[in-house]
Amino acid sequence: MSKNDSTQSGFKETISGFLKNRLSKINFTANLIIGVVLLLGFVFIGIFAPYITPHDSEEMYYEHLKEMPSAEFLLGTDRYGRDILSRVMMGTRTTLLIASTSTLIALFLGIIFGATSAYFGGRTDNIMMRINDIFMSFPTLIFAMLVIGVLGPSMVNGIIAIGIIYAPRVTRVVRSQALNIVHMEYIDAAKVGGESSFYIIFREMLPNLWPTIIVEGSIRLGYAILLTAGLGYIGLGPPPPTPDWGLMAYSERTYMFETPWPVFAPCLAIVIAVIGVNLFGEGLKDILLAKGSRKKEAKV
Residues of this chain that interact with another protein (CB under 8 A) are 1-4, 6-7, 9, 14, 17-18, 21, 184-186, 188-195, 197, 204, 207-208, 295-298, 300
Query: What percentage of the chain's residues is helix, strand, coil (to nearest 5)?
Result: 70, 0, 30
Strand partners, 77: 83
Closer CB to another protein, 150 or 192, in the complex: 192
Tell me the angle at which helices 206-233 and 140-151 cross, rounded to the nearest 10 degrees. 80
Closer CB to another protein, 191 or 253, in the complex: 191
CB of 221 to another protein, least distance (A): 24
CB of 186 to another protein, least distance (A): 4
CB of 9 to another protein, least distance (A): 5
CB of 8 to another protein, least distance (A): 9
CB of 207 to another protein, least distance (A): 4
SS3 205: helix
Question: DSSP alpha helices (H): ranges in 153-205?
Answer: 155-182, 185-192, 197-199
SS3 4: coil
DSSP assignment of 112-145: HHHHHHHHH-HHHHHHHHHHHHHHHTS-HHHHHH
CB of 197 to another protein, least distance (A): 8
Closer CB to another protein, 28 or 186, in the complex: 186
User: Measured at the alpha carbon of residue 277, what is the angle toward residues 149 and 42, in degrees to the nearest 5?
Assistant: 85
CB of 4 to another protein, least distance (A): 6
Closer CB to another protein, 130 or 296, in the complex: 296
The burial of 277, by beta-carbon neighbours within 10 Å (0-12 exposed, 13-18 middle, 19 or more buried), is given as buried
On the CB side of 127, how many CA atoms lie within 13 Å of its CA?
5
First to last CA, the chain: 16
CB of 96 to another protein, least distance (A): 30
Closer CB to another protein, 30 or 298, in the complex: 298
Closer CB to another protein, 17 or 230, in the complex: 17
Strand partners, 83: 77
DSSP state of 239: P
Closer CB to another protein, 108 or 186, in the complex: 186
Closer CB to another protein, 204 or 286, in the complex: 204
How many CB atoms are located within 10 Å of the residue 43 CB?
Answer: 14
Task: Show the 3-state SS of 49-109.
Answer: HHHHCCCCCCCCCHHHCCCCCCCCCCCCECCCCCEHHHHHHHHHHHHHHHHHHHHHHHHHH
